[in-house]
Structure 1
Amino acid sequence: MNRHTRKFAFFFGMILAMSIAIHVFAQSAEEQAVLTPIHAMFEGMSKRDAAAIKAPTLPGGTMVLMRDGKPAQMTFEAFAERVGKPGTTQIEERIHNPLIRIDNDLAVVWAPFDFLVDGKVDHCGTDLFNLVRVDGRWMIASVADTGTKNCSAK
């Protein structure tokens, strides 16, 4: 192969690899729409704003937080009041590599998460969100998560 042919093959290969990566990792507009209420809830949590935490949730929805093998259940309203209280610590929840499944007006998001307090990971685990589309808007119907302090293995 001459030098120009090798350059062309290299650049063609790079473009092909990037287009495959973009296709594999890009989220569709509908998947992004499903993630919007989740990010809105996280933003409300980081601002400790109870109304913003509740806004993307379905009224009457619930959470199940698994801690040390025991479920802690609460309504979104109770969670929002608990997290929405003023505090001096900065909190932030981040999800990674969400697995999103959508069927008409029902969606599920399964994603590993890190929960940060003052910029450091406090606990981690997996979030499971059930969402429904109501009047064209995705809303969180329920949340379940696992939580552990042993985050070094993740």
Structure 2
Amino acid sequence: MKNLLLATLLLGGNFAAFAQTSTAETAAVKQTITTFFDGMRRGDSTMVRSTLAPGAVFQVIANREGKIQVQTEKVAGFLKSVGTPHKEVYDERITFEQVLIDANLASVWTPYQFYIGSTFSHCGYNSFQLVKLAEGWKIVHIIDTRRKEKCK
């Protein structure tokens, strides 16, 4: 029984060590997301693209006539929208509520408010999945909610 308890404690300690992350890794993950939104505000699709992993997926959870749907958005369409000159700044204001990292995988939860220029458009939550590639942390998946009321 003592051996079983000792083995459990040793293995549990090893799993905990894998889940620990450094402040530098957390900062690097946050910087990738910050660069994504800085690029969006600047209308710089190249800057936004630099934060994305190959094959990145964008999705939104939508409520259409009382039915919840998951809609996939084309990344190329998003980049074109960001990079096409527009009068008002696309300004998504986020706060980092939770950043989880294990090895080369990060999951980030951010409430947001989206403005077109100074006009409020909508709010919700983003869930980002990032992977650490040779070039650094890259966004592989974004899914979000969107609403106009009950904003944080």
Q: How many residues align?
A: 127
Q: Contact between 2:96 and 2:108, CA under 8 Å: does it hold in 1?
A: no
Name the % identity: 30
Q: Is the 8 A contact 1:37 1:139 kept in 2?
A: yes
In the alignment, structure 2 segments of 5+ residues that lack a partner are 1-21
Secondary structure of 2:86's aligned partner:
coil
Equivalence for 2:71: 72
Residue in 2 that maps onto 1:58: 53
**1:47 matched to which residue of 2?**
42
Distance in 2 separating the partners of 1:63 and 1:97: 19
1:92-115 Cα shifts (integer Å, max 9, x gaps): 112114200000110000111111
**Per the alignment, do residues 114 and 39 of structure 1 end up closer, same or farther by CA in structure 2, a change over 3 Å counting?**
same
Residue by residue over 1:46-72, the C-alpha shift from the partner in whole angstroms, topping out at 9 and shown as x without a partner, is 111211111110121110012323333
| C-alpha contact 1:60 1:75 (8 A) present in aligned 2 | no
Q: Report how far residue 136 of structure 1 moved.
A: 5.4
TM alignment of 1:72-91, pairs within 5 A: 72-91=71-90
The structure having more radius of gyration, on CA atoms, is: 1
Partner of 2:122: 123
C-alpha separation between the residues in 1 aligned to 2:135 and 2:56? 18
The letter of the residue matching 1:96 is T
* Counterpart residue number, 2:134: 135
Conserved 8 A contact 2:62-2:145? yes
In the alignment, is the contact (CA less than 8 A) between 1:114 and 1:121 conserved in 2?
Answer: yes
8 Å CA contact 1:63–1:143 kept in 2: the answer is: yes
2:104 maps to: 105
Point out where structure 1 has 5 or more consecutive residues left out of the alignment. 1-26
Question: TM-score w.r.t. structure 2 length?
Answer: 0.76
